[in-house]
Amino acid sequence: MELQFNQIMFLENSLINILWFVGIILTGLLFKRFVARVLSKQSFRIVKAFSQNQFGEVFVELLKKPIEQFLFIGVLYLAFHKLQFPNSWNIADVNEFGIRKVILVLWQIAFFITITRILLRSTDFFTYVLINRETLPISEQLGNFLKELMKVLVIVLSFFAALRMIFDVNLTALIASLGIGGLAVALAAQDTLSNLLGSFVIYLDKPFKVGDFIETTDIKGTVEHVGFRSTRIRTMEKSLLTVPNKKLIDTALNNITLSEARRVRFTLSLTYGSKSNQLLSIIDDIKNELSAHEKISNDFTVRFTDFDSSSLTILIIYFVMSNEYDLMIKTKEEINLKIMQIIEQNGCEFAYPTQTIYVNRKSE
């Protein structure tokens, strides 16, 4: 029977080799997930001491998928090893440029990609342990910075390793040639390097962290991510704003989350028909309302400050004892409505920007 199988040929491959090919592929598809999970659990022994025998399931879930991909690439190699190209096709040898060489290079690239993914997932686990361990945990912001830094190193090292092992590139000569154009590259990447330095300043100086509500001269929102080049901020309009790190460290920045209170400042403009006793009564009533409000601190200011061109100006400054934006807006609304009632009760009116022109008519 074996002789008969070997005598049945398809594209110069025996039927038994084709069956081996199909069998290896099917076996790999059926068992790769199970084998990947077993290998992930066994690999956890390597990092058990570092993680203090914790987060085993996190490690398995992180590495299971890339290990599956690695196993499947190995299965493909074993399966195709059972087949050969027909001699009648006159395909070039694997050492020469042709289909064989291209397929081998693609397989090697896929192999390096999966190895790199396993290393990147290991980096994720490393930083996860640093952030969540019970003894001496680091901040999430520092952990994310370390994770991105290590990922960049892993990708760069994998890239150079692939160049050397797959394409047989002379790395010494390559690095030397890169040094010749290094100055031009550095000049072209000035902004990128400035933003990278900005990320180091943010991580070390800690002017804000993920989740903080910050405000600059033209930006206001919640920090969602701090990266190597830029910081992503969710604005008040719910849009996602990407800001270069250099801009954030070069401008005055107010971290509202770290503040104990929010300041409210505005002016009231009343008509010139208002009497002095009315203004004094309005000021006293506003002070009483601010004093009585439980969310407002006692260090407020209510003063008659200016004679403007078309109005009498009262300056009002108070502090809401919370950094929550919604609470500040709600308190401001309550005070504004009270002020409107006070103005009406004292018989005064808000001023509009107006001009009065007096015309002197001389008799002809």
DSSP structure string for 108-177: HHHHHHHHHHHHHHHHHHHHHHHHH-SSSPPPHHHHHHHHHHHHHHHHHHHHHHHHHHTS---HHHHHHH
pLDDT in tens, 238-267: 899 999 988 888 888 989 888 888 899 999
For residue 89, give the DSSP letter: G
**pLDDT confidence of residue 1:** 47
Cα-based distances in Å from 13 to 3, 5, 83, 84 = 14, 11, 6, 7
Q: Which residues belong to CATH 2.30.30.60 in the chain?
A: 198-257
Greater model confidence, 80 or 157:
157
CA 236 from centre of chain: 17
- In the predicted model, what is the mean pLDDT of residues 270-285? 94
Please report which confidence band the pLDDT of residue 363 belongs to, taking 50, 70 and 90 as the band edges. Answer: low
Structural fold of domain 198-257: SH3 type barrels. (2.30.30)
Greater model confidence, 105 or 170:
105
List the one residue out of 263, 292, 268 whose CA is nearest residue 278.
268
Please report which confidence band the pLDDT of residue 181 belongs to, taking 50, 70 and 90 as the band edges. Answer: low
Strand order in the sheet with 312-320: 262-270, 312-320, 301-307
Helix (H, G, I), strand (E, B) or coil at 76: helix
**pLDDT confidence of residue 65:** 93
Which of 11-25, 175-189, 272-286, 350-364 shows the lowest mean pLDDT across its residues? 175-189
296 and 290 Cβ atoms separated by less than 8 Å: yes
Whether 218 has a pLDDT exceeding 50, the answer reads yes
State how far the Cα of 23 lies from the Cα of 255, in Å rounded to an integer.
62
**pLDDT confidence of residue 286:** 96
Whether 119 has a pLDDT exceeding 90, the answer reads yes
**pLDDT confidence of residue 353:** 73
Average pLDDT, the chain: 84
Greater model confidence, 135 or 224:
224
**pLDDT confidence of residue 92:** 57
**pLDDT confidence of residue 5:** 56
**pLDDT confidence of residue 189:** 55
State how far the Cα of 328 lies from the Cα of 326, in Å rounded to an integer.
5
**pLDDT confidence of residue 190:** 65
For residue 250, give the DSSP letter: S
Please report which confidence band the pLDDT of residue 40 belongs to, taking 50, 70 and 90 as the band edges. Answer: very high
Greater model confidence, 364 or 105:
105
- What is the DSSP secondary-structure string of 289-313? HHHH-TTB-S--EEEEEEE-SS-EE
**pLDDT confidence of residue 297:** 93
Which of 68-72, 203-207, 221-225 shows the lowest mean pLDDT across its residues? 203-207
Structural fold of domain 260-345: Alpha-Beta Plaits (3.30.70)
Greater model confidence, 9 or 234:
234
Please report which confidence band the pLDDT of residue 296 belongs to, taking 50, 70 and 90 as the band edges. Answer: very high
- In the predicted model, what is the mean pLDDT of residues 40-66? 90
131 and 138 Cβ atoms separated by less than 8 Å: yes
The burial of 332, by beta-carbon neighbours within 10 Å (0-12 exposed, 13-18 middle, 19 or more buried), is given as: middle
- In the predicted model, what is the mean pLDDT of residues 193-217? 82
Which of 16-30, 95-109, 178-192, 209-223 shows the lowest mean pLDDT across its residues? 178-192
The burial of 40, by beta-carbon neighbours within 10 Å (0-12 exposed, 13-18 middle, 19 or more buried), is given as: buried
Whether 33 has a pLDDT exceeding 80, the answer reads yes
Per cent of the chain over pLDDT 70 is 85
**pLDDT confidence of residue 342:** 96
What type of residue is 110?
A
State how far the Cα of 132 lies from the Cα of 56, in Å rounded to an integer.
13
Whether 180 has a pLDDT exceeding 90, the answer reads no
State how far the Cα of 168 lies from the Cα of 172, in Å rounded to an integer.
12
Whether 312 has a pLDDT exceeding 90, the answer reads yes
Please report which confidence band the pLDDT of residue 177 belongs to, taking 50, 70 and 90 as the band edges. Answer: low
State how far the Cα of 171 lies from the Cα of 363, in Å rounded to an integer.
101
The pair of three-digit structure tokens given for residue 248, joined into one six-digit string: 């954030």
CA atoms within 13 A on the CB side of 40: 28
Per cent of the chain over pLDDT 90 is 41
- In the predicted model, what is the mean pLDDT of residues 88-101? 67
Neighbours of 87 (CB within 10 A): 8
The pair of three-digit structure tokens given for residue 23, joined into one six-digit string: 């069998």
